[in-house]
Amino acid sequence: IGLRDIEIDGKKYATDEWTNTPSSIVSSVPRRLHLQKDHPISITRQLIESRFPGYRTHNTLFPVVTVNQNFDSLGFPPDHPGRNKTDTYYVNKDTVLRTHTSAHQADVFRGNTSDGFLISADVYRRDAIDRSHYPVFHQMEGARTWDRSIIQDSKELVRKIWDDVAQLPQHELNVSDPNPPIHPERNPLQSKHHMAEEAEAIAAHLKRSLENVVVEIFAQAQKAQQAAGQEISEEPLQVRWVEAYFPFTSPSWELEVFWQGDWLEVLGCGVVKQDLLINAGVPSRVGWAFGMGLERIAMLLFSVPDIRLFWSQDPRFSSQFTSPFPHDPSSTIAAAAPSSFSIKPFTPFSKYPAAPRDVAFWLPSTSSSAGGRLPTASSVHENDVMELVREVAGSDVEDVRLVDEFTHPKTGRKSLCYRVVYRSLERTLTNEEANGLHDSIRKALVEKLGVELR
């Protein structure tokens, strides 16, 4: 392997000035939590797949994709913030670790092997550090299309889609969907490609399919909590559809669920942009797609309080779960659920003490030639601070947050103070260990980000 190469799960890639993927991220690529036997992320995947019997599953797609697959093929504009190095792990200028499972939509549509498919995979994003964010997480993509070319006319297509809606299981969910399925400005019809009746039928199939997923997940979560003797509310489950925007669907929505006092966003979805299907060589197909994060759902299904636990290899975590589904890492078809089963919530092992430490520093000044003028933009992106902390402290850091921000009135220099909370999930960190980690972080902030410690 050349000095300038990076090796990811056995494959070599040339690096360049865009490369920003650290070794800690590369080393999580082989973990594939969504395929590990009895892992809660895998059980969550299987549970959702069971709501789409007969859909073709793609669960082993490689995480290194081209910028074209991850962004261009989906219609992301060239200046979309998601493309920034601060948000995305680049392997090199043209290659990234996928930031979402949508990166595979065009290819799977092009393969055209089924009307419905599901893609589950690990995805990678530079982001904040707290108990619900980790730079590697898992998503499931789903899509369902209909082939227009085998159907006489648009009326017949619309009838066929509504027939398929009628075949879907019924539910008794309390659904709020206050907006019309199509709105000329906020949520437009692709009028060049679809009749309103077609988009409405597709939307109805999409919404009912996903409502059924949510019914199943939250019924399981409630049952699990009840069995574990926890208080559960008597209120019927409430969900709501919210208008949304994605570059590759229109109209688009998010589905939110009222859970333990808050509206929780569980997925994004919409009618697939016809240009994507045209570019993928299947211009006569029309349909819908969705994408959802598996960690968030697994956390509430299994009452897991910290996302880092999913990565733990401590048997006190991993031995607590048993999948009610057969182990199926190479299956290519979504299986139905066993007739009855229940999910057992996680029983926390002792929580070890937290060690909070603050670090305050002056940002490097960005005004060089402007002579005395205030710096315009912050020279350090927060995600760079987050990653530096991760690189040093790994999974012994639970939370990092900005607690103070100050601009000197005379010099215009800006100072930040971050609180880093160290806590291992597996043991008590000694004072010396926490101090040692914190000292290394202070040093790295100076060396790598050029800040001046206060």
Kindly state the helix (H) or strand (E) to which residue 119 belongs, with its residue range: strand 116-124
- Residue with Cβ nearer ligand PHE (100 or 138): 100
Whole-number Å distance between alpha carbons of 7 and 23:
10
Pairing of β 174-176 and β 238-246: parallel
Among 6, 161, 210, 269, binds ligand PHE (CB under 6 A): 269
- Residue with the shortest CB distance to ligand PHE: 291
Q: Does 270 bind ligand PHE (CB under 6 A)?
A: yes
Smallest separation (angstroms) from ligand PHE to the CB of 103: 8
Smallest separation (angstroms) from ligand PHE to the CB of 268: 3
- Of 92-151, binders to ligand PHE (CB under 6 A) are 100, 102, 141
- Of 241-260, binders to ligand PHE (CB under 6 A) are 246, 249
- Residue with Cβ nearer ligand PHE (190 or 303): 190
Q: Does 88 bind ligand PHE (CB under 6 A)?
A: no
Smallest separation (angstroms) from ligand PHE to the CB of 351: 31
Whole-number Å distance between alpha carbons of 388 and 24:
11
Q: Rounded to whole angstroms, what are the CA distances from 337 to 27, 143, 216, 220, 324?
A: 33, 20, 11, 12, 8
- Residue with Cβ nearer ligand PHE (102 or 395): 102
Q: Total residues at the site for ligand PHE (CB under 6 A)?
A: 11
Of 82-90, 211-219, 267-275, 425-433, the window that binds ligand PHE (rule: CB under 6 A) is 267-275
- Residue with Cβ nearer ligand PHE (288 or 325): 288
In which order are the strands placed within the sheet that holds 355-362? 397-407, 414-422, 355-362, 452-453
In the chain the first and final C-alpha atoms are separated, in Å, by 42
Among 63, 135, 181, 291, binds ligand PHE (CB under 6 A): 291
Q: Which own/partner contact pairs does 147-156 have at CB distance under 8 Å and 24+ positions apart?
A: 147/115, 147/284, 147/285, 148/284, 148/285, 148/286, 149/284, 154/195, 154/197, 154/198, 155/197
Q: Does 289 bind ligand PHE (CB under 6 A)?
A: yes
Smallest separation (angstroms) from ligand PHE to the CB of 139: 6
- Of 329-368, binders to ligand PHE (CB under 6 A) are none
Smallest separation (angstroms) from ligand PHE to the CB of 143: 8
Contacting positions for ligand PHE (CB under 6 A): 100, 102, 141, 246, 249, 268-270, 289-291
